[in-house]
Amino acid sequence: MGPAPVSRAEQRRHTQDRILAAARKLFAEHGYDRTTIRGIAAEAKTDPGLVMRYFGSKERLFARVAVVHRREPVDGPPDQVAELLLAALSAKITAEPAGALAAVRSMFTHPEAAAEVREAMLAEQRQVAGVLPAEDADLRTGLIGALTLGTVIARYLLELDGLRDAPPEKVVALLRPSFHSIVHSDPETGPPGAATANGDRTGQG
Protein backbone atom coordinates (compact mmCIF):
# COMPACT_ATOMS: atom_id res chain seq x y z
CA MET A 1 0.00 0.00 0.00
CA GLY A 2 1.17 3.49 -0.76
CA PRO A 3 1.32 6.38 1.70
CA ALA A 4 -1.96 7.78 2.91
CA PRO A 5 -3.13 10.84 0.94
CA VAL A 6 -2.39 14.20 2.52
CA SER A 7 -5.50 16.14 3.50
CA ARG A 8 -6.14 19.72 2.40
CA ALA A 9 -5.71 20.87 6.01
CA GLU A 10 -2.29 19.21 6.20
CA GLN A 11 -1.24 20.68 2.87
CA ARG A 12 -2.26 24.13 4.05
CA ARG A 13 -0.40 23.72 7.34
CA HIS A 14 2.76 22.56 5.57
CA THR A 15 2.58 25.53 3.19
CA GLN A 16 2.07 27.97 6.06
CA ASP A 17 5.02 26.47 7.92
CA ARG A 18 7.24 26.88 4.86
CA ILE A 19 6.12 30.50 4.45
CA LEU A 20 6.81 31.28 8.12
CA ALA A 21 10.25 29.66 7.94
CA ALA A 22 11.08 31.59 4.78
CA ALA A 23 9.82 34.88 6.24
CA ARG A 24 11.77 34.34 9.46
CA LYS A 25 14.96 33.74 7.47
CA LEU A 26 14.56 36.68 5.09
CA PHE A 27 13.42 39.23 7.70
CA ALA A 28 16.41 38.32 9.86
CA GLU A 29 18.88 38.43 6.97
CA HIS A 30 17.61 41.43 5.01
CA GLY A 31 15.46 43.43 7.43
CA TYR A 32 11.88 44.57 7.02
CA ASP A 33 12.38 46.99 4.10
CA ARG A 34 14.26 44.68 1.75
CA THR A 35 12.10 41.62 2.39
CA THR A 36 9.23 41.26 -0.07
CA ILE A 37 6.21 39.00 -0.37
CA ARG A 38 7.56 37.75 -3.71
CA GLY A 39 10.91 36.95 -2.12
CA ILE A 40 9.26 35.07 0.73
CA ALA A 41 7.11 33.11 -1.71
CA ALA A 42 10.14 32.18 -3.80
CA GLU A 43 12.05 31.02 -0.71
CA ALA A 44 9.04 28.97 0.41
CA LYS A 45 8.51 27.59 -3.12
CA THR A 46 4.92 28.74 -3.25
CA ASP A 47 2.79 31.42 -4.89
CA PRO A 48 2.76 35.05 -3.62
CA GLY A 49 -1.02 34.92 -3.70
CA LEU A 50 -1.02 32.14 -1.11
CA VAL A 51 1.23 34.20 1.17
CA MET A 52 -1.29 37.02 1.07
CA ARG A 53 -4.23 34.65 1.42
CA TYR A 54 -2.86 32.99 4.54
CA PHE A 55 -1.31 36.02 6.27
CA GLY A 56 -3.05 39.08 4.85
CA SER A 57 -0.15 41.49 4.53
CA LYS A 58 3.57 41.88 4.94
CA GLU A 59 3.01 43.60 8.29
CA ARG A 60 0.89 40.76 9.67
CA LEU A 61 3.34 38.14 8.44
CA PHE A 62 6.16 40.05 10.10
CA ALA A 63 4.24 40.10 13.37
CA ARG A 64 3.70 36.33 13.18
CA VAL A 65 7.43 35.81 12.66
CA ALA A 66 8.59 38.35 15.21
CA VAL A 67 6.42 37.17 18.07
CA VAL A 68 7.34 33.65 19.14
CA HIS A 69 3.91 32.15 19.68
CA ARG A 70 3.47 29.54 22.36
CA ARG A 71 2.28 26.21 21.02
CA GLU A 72 -0.49 26.07 23.62
CA PRO A 73 -2.41 28.73 25.58
CA VAL A 74 -1.05 29.66 28.98
CA ASP A 75 -3.31 28.25 31.66
CA GLY A 76 -3.24 26.52 35.02
CA PRO A 77 -2.09 27.41 38.53
CA PRO A 78 0.48 30.21 39.03
CA ASP A 79 3.48 27.86 39.17
CA GLN A 80 2.52 26.36 35.82
CA VAL A 81 1.90 29.80 34.30
CA ALA A 82 5.34 30.98 35.40
CA GLU A 83 7.01 27.91 33.88
CA LEU A 84 5.17 28.35 30.56
CA LEU A 85 6.30 31.99 30.43
CA LEU A 86 9.87 30.91 31.17
CA ALA A 87 9.62 28.39 28.34
CA ALA A 88 8.54 31.21 26.01
CA LEU A 89 11.59 33.22 27.09
CA SER A 90 13.82 30.22 26.47
CA ALA A 91 12.41 29.89 22.95
CA LYS A 92 13.20 33.54 22.22
CA ILE A 93 16.86 33.22 23.23
CA THR A 94 17.57 29.79 21.75
CA ALA A 95 15.52 28.30 18.92
CA GLU A 96 14.24 31.49 17.32
CA PRO A 97 16.36 34.54 18.19
CA ALA A 98 16.24 35.75 14.58
CA GLY A 99 12.55 36.55 14.77
CA ALA A 100 12.89 38.38 18.06
CA LEU A 101 15.84 40.38 16.75
CA ALA A 102 14.02 41.30 13.57
CA ALA A 103 11.13 42.53 15.68
CA VAL A 104 13.26 44.70 17.92
CA ARG A 105 15.21 46.26 15.05
CA SER A 106 12.20 46.97 12.89
CA MET A 107 9.88 48.22 15.63
CA PHE A 108 12.01 51.34 16.05
CA THR A 109 12.15 52.21 12.36
CA HIS A 110 8.89 50.96 10.80
CA PRO A 111 5.72 52.15 12.55
CA GLU A 112 3.50 49.92 10.42
CA ALA A 113 5.45 46.83 11.49
CA ALA A 114 5.62 48.02 15.09
CA ALA A 115 1.85 48.35 15.31
CA GLU A 116 1.29 44.74 14.23
CA VAL A 117 3.99 43.38 16.55
CA ARG A 118 2.67 45.40 19.49
CA GLU A 119 -0.86 44.11 18.92
CA ALA A 120 0.37 40.52 18.74
CA MET A 121 2.32 40.98 21.97
CA LEU A 122 -0.66 42.62 23.67
CA ALA A 123 -2.92 39.75 22.61
CA GLU A 124 -0.57 37.29 24.32
CA GLN A 125 -0.34 39.54 27.38
CA ARG A 126 -4.13 39.76 27.67
CA GLN A 127 -4.45 36.00 27.42
CA VAL A 128 -1.96 35.48 30.26
CA ALA A 129 -3.51 38.24 32.37
CA GLY A 130 -6.87 36.52 32.01
CA VAL A 131 -5.67 33.45 33.91
CA LEU A 132 -3.96 35.27 36.78
CA PRO A 133 -6.11 35.79 39.89
CA ALA A 134 -4.37 39.03 40.91
CA GLU A 135 -6.23 42.33 40.52
CA ASP A 136 -3.11 43.83 38.95
CA ALA A 137 -2.69 41.01 36.43
CA ASP A 138 -2.08 43.47 33.57
CA LEU A 139 0.83 45.01 35.47
CA ARG A 140 2.29 41.63 36.31
CA THR A 141 2.14 40.36 32.73
CA GLY A 142 3.55 43.68 31.50
CA LEU A 143 6.54 43.24 33.80
CA ILE A 144 7.06 39.70 32.55
CA GLY A 145 6.99 41.07 29.00
CA ALA A 146 9.52 43.76 29.93
CA LEU A 147 11.87 41.20 31.45
CA THR A 148 11.56 38.99 28.37
CA LEU A 149 12.09 41.77 25.82
CA GLY A 150 14.89 43.32 27.89
CA THR A 151 16.70 40.00 28.06
CA VAL A 152 16.53 39.58 24.27
CA ILE A 153 17.77 43.14 23.65
CA ALA A 154 20.59 42.91 26.20
CA ARG A 155 21.73 39.50 24.95
CA TYR A 156 21.61 39.98 21.18
CA LEU A 157 21.66 43.72 20.45
CA LEU A 158 23.64 45.23 23.32
CA GLU A 159 25.64 42.00 23.78
CA LEU A 160 26.21 42.68 27.45
CA ASP A 161 29.10 40.82 29.03
CA GLY A 162 28.07 37.61 30.70
CA LEU A 163 24.56 37.60 29.30
CA ARG A 164 25.77 37.51 25.69
CA ASP A 165 27.40 34.07 26.01
CA ALA A 166 25.47 32.58 28.92
CA PRO A 167 23.76 29.23 28.30
CA PRO A 168 20.02 29.83 27.86
CA GLU A 169 19.21 27.36 30.63
CA LYS A 170 21.28 29.39 33.09
CA VAL A 171 19.55 32.62 32.07
CA VAL A 172 16.18 30.96 32.61
CA ALA A 173 17.27 29.48 35.96
CA LEU A 174 18.39 32.88 37.27
CA LEU A 175 15.15 34.55 36.17
CA ARG A 176 12.92 31.75 37.48
CA PRO A 177 12.47 33.21 41.03
CA SER A 178 11.56 36.61 39.59
CA PHE A 179 8.96 35.16 37.21
CA HIS A 180 7.36 33.09 39.96
CA SER A 181 7.35 36.04 42.35
CA ILE A 182 5.71 38.35 39.82
CA VAL A 183 3.11 35.77 38.83
CA HIS A 184 1.78 34.86 42.27
CA SER A 185 3.53 36.48 45.23
CA ASP A 186 2.30 39.46 47.22
CA PRO A 187 4.62 42.40 46.51
CA GLU A 188 6.75 43.87 49.27
CA THR A 189 5.71 47.43 50.06
CA GLY A 190 9.26 48.36 50.97
CA PRO A 191 12.46 47.04 52.51
CA PRO A 192 12.22 45.50 56.01
CA GLY A 193 11.86 48.23 58.59
CA ALA A 194 10.88 50.90 56.08
CA ALA A 195 8.35 53.50 57.19
CA THR A 196 4.82 53.19 55.82
CA ALA A 197 2.58 56.07 54.81
CA ASN A 198 1.07 56.36 58.31
CA GLY A 199 4.42 56.49 60.01
CA ASP A 200 4.47 52.86 61.23
CA ARG A 201 7.30 50.55 60.33
CA THR A 202 6.80 47.29 58.47
CA GLY A 203 7.34 44.13 60.44
CA GLN A 204 6.32 45.77 63.73
CA GLY A 205 3.10 45.11 65.65
- Per-domain residue ranges for the chain? 10-56, 78-184
Residues 68-79: pLDDT tens digits? 555 566 778 888
The answer to whether 15 and 9 have CB atoms below 8 angstroms apart is no
**Cα gap 124→122, rounded to integer Å:** 5
pLDDT at site 127? 85
pLDDT at site 202? 46
With a cut of 60, say whether residue 125 has pLDDT above it. yes
Residues 91-101: pLDDT tens digits? 888 865 666 66
Q: Give the confidence band of 188 by pLDDT, cuts at 50, 70, 90.
A: low
Q: Does 1.10.10.60 match the CATH number of domain 10-56?
A: yes
Local structure of 195: helix, strand or coil: strand
Mean pLDDT over 2-16 rounds to 80
Buried b (16+ CB within 10 A) or exposed e, 47-71: eeebbeebbeebbbbbbbbbbbeee
With a cut of 80, say whether residue 117 has pLDDT above it. no
Residues 141-173: pLDDT tens digits? 999 989 988 898 888 878 899 998 999 999 999
Mean pLDDT over 9-16 rounds to 90
- 156 half-sphere exposure, CB direction, 13 A CA radius: 21
- Prediction pTM value: 0.65
Which range of 43-52, 89-98, 189-198 scores highest in mean pLDDT? It is 43-52
With a cut of 90, say whether residue 1 has pLDDT above it. no
pLDDT at site 71? 52
In the chain, the percentage of residues whose pLDDT exceeds 90 is 31
Q: Considering only CA atoms, which of 14, 47, 21 is closest in space to residue 6?
A: 14
**Cα gap 126→96, rounded to integer Å:** 23
Q: Considering only CA atoms, which of 76, 85, 181 is closest in space to residue 124?
A: 85
**Cα gap 176→205, rounded to integer Å:** 33
What's the per-residue H, E or C state across 56-124?
CCHHHHHHHHHCCCCCCCCCCCHHHHHHHHHHHHHHHHCCCHHHHHHHHHHHCCCHHHHHHHHHHHHHH
